[in-house]
Amino acid sequence: MTGLVARIEAATPPGRDRAVDALRALAILGVVGGHWLVTALVADSGTVRGASPLAHLPELTPVSWIFQTLAVFFLVGGQVAAGSWASARKRGVPYGPWVGGRLARLFRPVAAVLVVWALAAAAMLVAGVGEPTVRALAKLVWSPLWFLLVFAALTALTPLVARLHPLWPLVVVLHVDLVRFGLGGPRELEWINVVAGWLVPYCLGALVARGGLRGRTGRWALLLGGAVAATALVRWAGYPASMVGVPGGRISNLDPPSLAAVAFGLAQCGAALLLLGPLRRVLRRPAAWAGVAAVNLSAMTVFLWHQTAMIIVTASALLLADGPLPGLHTVPDDAGWVTARLLWLPVFALALLGCWAAFRGYEQGGRRGGGGSLVVRESAPERKGRARRA
């Protein structure tokens, strides 16, 4: 283990901003933890259906505040993409090769999960598994992929949005919600927020990349202003308190992003930017950095296969056990389910480790072996530029 830590430390470019990588890792792990905690598969009358403890236990709502970390992911994505595009322009790299390379790294591992689950769904149907069960399982795996399409679109639009102030998409989200909720406008308008809502933290990251929000005052203003706005919208404007969708809810803060979710995301981004300094100090320690580097190296694999890992454990236990197991197959409607689910999390992690071992090559296929494969590579101008801007 000591040798691996030393190799990762030696392979890390001197100018790399480790804190930004840490924010990305925390965002991915937040999504994984959130899905494992607020998603349940209930075995009932020979079928398996999806359920959410948030629908039965509203006191768990604060869990969604902690684990809804997509805004931080888009913040980091905007910062890194804007810095990368600026570096590419300086080096004379055309837009086509630049965006093609970034999108290829994003979607290469997606193909594997799509093929595996298309075959798995077909095999289950042929074996006589009910269509509702197959649909519930496939939805768990495929539905989180929507955010990759949005992220890919924003990445492709980076040259156009890199200098767009985040207030502009925020105003769009505000007006869309005013029309759809206050004036009873057409439901189709909500899909504007799918792009505009995530464009806010993405543009905020691009602003940071070009030297904005350097002081703590602006970052504290984001944190406190976003938190106050989100609280006010929940308390007095009728938005739900949960920052993820709840089955049966009148409004979802996430599907598409609502004004409350965007305000909450701004608070998260402010907190993330305030954490950069402390994270940089902690990540000077090689062991701490090794963990962050390992997560970043396999971030897409972890994201794409974490629901499959939960399904593998759930299905295997259902086949081997005499009946439904608490926290795994039962209705998530009491504290006993929560306690049991927490005990299952290490088992999910072990299953995810197996998925990682099997499929990590699709994410890392474009990287050469040796020490340089331990961290994501950047060009020298890109490293210097990003370190200077941060």
Q: With cut-offs at 50, 70 and 90, classify the pLDDT of residue 1.
A: low
Residue range 328-339: mean pLDDT, rounded: 94
User: At residue 268, what is the residue type?
Assistant: Q
> Which of 6-20, 236-250, 354-368 is least confident?
354-368
What does the pLDDT look like over 125-166, one tens digit per residue?
999 999 999 999 999 998 888 888 999 999 999 999 988 999
Q: Which of 123, 118, 76, 82 is nearest to 99 (CA)?
A: 82
**Mean pLDDT over the full length of the chain:** 90
| pLDDT tens profile 47-101 | 899 999 999 999 999 999 999 999 999 999 999 999 999 999 999 999 999 999 9
CB 204 within 8 A of CB 166: yes
pLDDT surpasses 50 at 389: no
> Which range among 55-64, 269-278, 362-371 has the greatest average pLDDT?
269-278
Percentage with pLDDT > 90 across the chain: 74
Number of neighbouring beta carbons within 10 Å of residue 242: 27
- Per residue, the 3-state secondary structure of the chain, as one string, reads CHHHHHHHHHHCCCCCCHHHHHHHHHHHHHHHHHHHHHCEEEEECCEEEEECHHHHCHHHHHHHHHHCCHHHHHHHHHHHHHHHHHHHHHCCCCHHHHHHHHHHHHHHHHHHHHHHHHHHHHHHHHCCCCHHHHHHHHHHHHHHHHHHHHHHHHHHCHHHHCCCCCHHHHHHHHHHHHHHHHCCCCHHHHHHHHHHHHHHHHHHHHHHHCCCCCCHHHHHHHHHHHHHHHHHHHHHCCCCCCCCCCCCCCCCCECCECHHHHHHHHHHHHHHHHHHHHHHHHCCCHHHHHHHHHHHHCHHHHHHHHHHHHHHHHHHHHHHCCCCCCCCCCCCCCHHHHHHHHHHHHHHHHHHHHHHHHHHHHHHCCCCCCHHHHCCCCCHHHHHHHHHHC
C-alpha closest to that of 384 among 98, 84, 159: 84
- Contact between residue 256 and residue 191 where contact means Cβ atoms under 8 Å apart: yes
**Peptide bond between residue 256 and the one before it cis (omega within 30 degrees of 0):** yes
Please report the pLDDT score of residue 365 as a whole number. 63
Percent of the chain with pLDDT over 70: 93
Phi and psi at 183, nearest 5°, equal -110, 5
pLDDT at position 146: 86
Residue 379, pLDDT score? 40
Tens digit of each residue's pLDDT (9 = 90 or more) over 346-360: 999 999 999 999 999
d(CA 84, CA 101): 11
Contact yes or no for 329/314 (Cβ under 8 A): yes
pLDDT band for 373, please (50, 70, 90 cuts).
very low
Residue 3, classified by CB atoms within 10 Å of its CB into exposed (0-12), middle (13-18) or buried (19+), is exposed
Beta carbons within 8 Å of 177's beta carbon, 6+ residues apart: 193, 258, 259
Find out whether 323 and 52 touch, Cβ atoms under 8 Å: no
Residue 91 carries which side chain, given as an amino acid letter?
R
Question: pLDDT confidence of 115, banded at 50, 70, 90?
Answer: very high
Residues in contact with 377: Cβ distance below 8 Å, sequence separation at least 6, in sequence order: 13, 367
Q: Which two tokens stand for residue 37?
A: 């905690």
Each residue of 197-250: pLDDT tens digit? 999 999 999 999 999 999 999 999 999 999 999 999 999 999 999 999 888 888
Sequence-distant (≥ 6) Cβ neighbours of residue 246 within 8 angstroms? 52, 54, 55, 240, 252
Note the pLDDT of residue 383: 44
Query: What's the chain's length in residues?
Result: 390
Low-confidence winner among 23-32, 68-77, 145-154, 377-386 (lowest mean pLDDT): 377-386
What pLDDT digit, counting tens, does each position of 168-197 carry?
999 999 999 999 998 998 988 989 999 999
What's the pTM value of the predicted model, to 2 decimals? Answer: 0.91
CA 154 to mean position of chain CA atoms? 15
